[in-house]
Structure 1
Amino acid sequence: MARSIRPQRVNHMNAVVQDFEASVAHVEQAYGAEFMVDMPQKEFHACLFEMGRVIFELFVPWDYLVTARLGPHFVGLEWQADMDDVRAALADHGVRTVRDIGLALHTHPDDCFGIAHEFYAGEFVSRDWPLLGGGKIKSAEYWASEHPLGLTGLRGYTQVVEDIAGASAFYQSFLSAEPLFEENRPAIAGRAVALKVADAVVELLMPTGPGWLAQRLRRQGQGILSTVFGVADMAKARNYFVAKGVPTEAGTAPAYAAVPPEANQGIMFEFAE
């Protein structure tokens, strides 16, 4: 039997954006995000920021030519996991890597239904950050009760796939996922399968006919559509967005509100109680 990874948590979401300064300024202004660390490298300009204790790593290639066709998009995400277990599971599942720096690695998206899963043994929420005055990121209590958006942390992410049964089986075998529910999403002409992986709910979405979801699949291929945040009170969150001038629209599920990519530096955020 193929060995499985049992991640402990989502460390951060990974996204490619086009404009570094504009993207950082946007998340700070729109959501009150904290800029945690600046990481210019020879291949790209990277950084970490957090909002609602959900951490993101942004990557901005110095030469945007090779990513311009796809544009801003979620590359994948990083899981905290035992690296010996990770390497054993990679071998058993025949999953390739596209970047391996020893302490961390990224899987090949073609082997993972469009996602580069990054793995690392450490975590980030308990660290002290020089750019935050040598302290830690803001507390869960602050984001839920003091910040007017009322964020309660990561709910999970959505992923569009061509073969929802195959993707579900892969998650269960590769990442020890636990099935939660299945349902139709007629508003987006799709079918959903929800899976629990560590502290996240992964919602696999597959088109059932022409519509918004099928358009997204044609546009970007398989991969992450959105990061889904929890909020304490959806009415309060909607009022916050109106006050901030941040447009929202219907999300991928009936109870979700989405900030669309065109209003969010090219990547989609969703919010749900």
Structure 2
Amino acid sequence: MPRSVSPLRVNHMNAVLRDIDTSVAHFEKAFGAEFLADMPQKQFHACLFEIGQVIFELFVPYDFLVSARLGPHYVGLEWQADMDEVRAALADHGIGTVRDIGLALHTDPADCFGVAHEFYAGEFHSRTWDALGGEPMKSPTHWRDEHPLGLTGLIGYTQVVEDIDAATAFYESFFGAERLFAEDRPAIAGQAVGLRVADAVVELLMPTRPGWLVERLRRQGQGILSTVFGVRDLAQVRRYCVAQSIPLDFGTKQNRVAVPSEANHGILFEFAENPGA
């Protein structure tokens, strides 16, 4: 029986965008993001910022030509996990890597239904940051009770796939994921399977007929579609977004709202009530 990975938590979401400065400025202005670290690399310019205790790493190629066909998109996410366990599970499942720097690695999206799963043994949420004057990130209490969005942390992410049964089997085998639900999503012409991995709910979405979801699949292929934030109150989110002139749309599920990718530098944010987090 192939060995599996048991992550401790999501460290951060990973996205490929066009420009560091304008993207960070947008997220700071729109959502009160905290800039955490600037990390220019030989191959790309990277940085970290957080919104509501959800950390994002941006990757910006020095020449966006290499990403022009896909455009801005979620390339994957990083999990905190034991690296010996990770390497054993990768070998057992025949999953390749596209980047391996020893301390961390990224899986080949072609082997993971369009997601580059990054793994690293450390974590980020309890650190102090030079960019914040040696202080830690703003607390969960601040984001829930003081910020006008009323954010309660990460719920998880959605991932659009071509074969929902095969993708479910992958998560159950590779991550030991717990299946939470299976349901139709008629508003987006799709079906969904929810899986628990560490502290996140992974929602696999597959189109069932022509519509919005199949258009997203045609545009960018399989992969992460959105980050799902928990909030105290959706009405509070709506009021905030109206006041800030942030466009809102329907989410991928009832009782959820979304900031469309076209208004968010290419990546989709969703908000769902999770007041007890």
- Which segments of 5 or more consecutive residues in structure 2 lack a partner in the other structure? none
Aligned residues: 273
* 2:267 partner amino acid: I
CA–CA distance in structure 2, aligned partners of residues 36 and 88 of structure 1: 32
Is 1:62 aligned with 2:29?
A: no
The CA distance in 2 between the partners of 1:13 and 1:172, in whole Å, is: 21
Q: Secondary structure at the match of 2:236?
A: helix
Runs of 4+ in 1 over 3 A off after TM superposition: none
2:152 alignment counterpart: 152
2:97 maps to amino acid: T
TM-score of the pair, normalised by structure 1: 0.99
**Deviation of the 1:195 alpha carbon:** 0.2
Residue type at the aligned position of 2:137: I
Deviation at 1:176, TM superposition (A): 1.2
Q: How is 1:1-273 mapped onto 2 (pairs within 5 angstroms)?
A: 1-273=1-273
- Quote the offset at 1:194 in angstroms: 0.2
The superposition leaves residues 109-135 of structure 1 with CA deviations (integer Å, 9 ceiling, x where unpaired) of: 000000000000000011110000101
Residues of 2 paired with 1:87 and 1:42: CA distance? Answer: 25
State the distance in 2 between where 1:262 and 1:187 align: 20
CA distance in 2, matches of 1:119, 1:176: 16
Cα shift readout 1:37-76 (whole Å, capped 9, x = no counterpart): 0011121110000010000000010011110111000000
User: For the residues of structure 1 that align with 2:125 and 2:194, how far apart are their CA atoms?
Assistant: 26
Give me the CA root mean square deviation: 0.4
**TM-score, normalised to structure 2's length?**
0.98
Three-state SS of the structure 1 residue aligned to 2:30 is: helix
Which letter maps to 1:25?
A: A
Percent of residue pairs identical: 73
- Whole-Å separation in 2 of the counterparts to 1:234 and 1:256: 8
Residue 226 of structure 1 deviates from its aligned partner by 0.3
Q: Which deviations, in whole Å up to 9, do the C-alpha atoms of 1:167-198 show, x marking residues without a partner?
A: 00100110111000000000100000000000
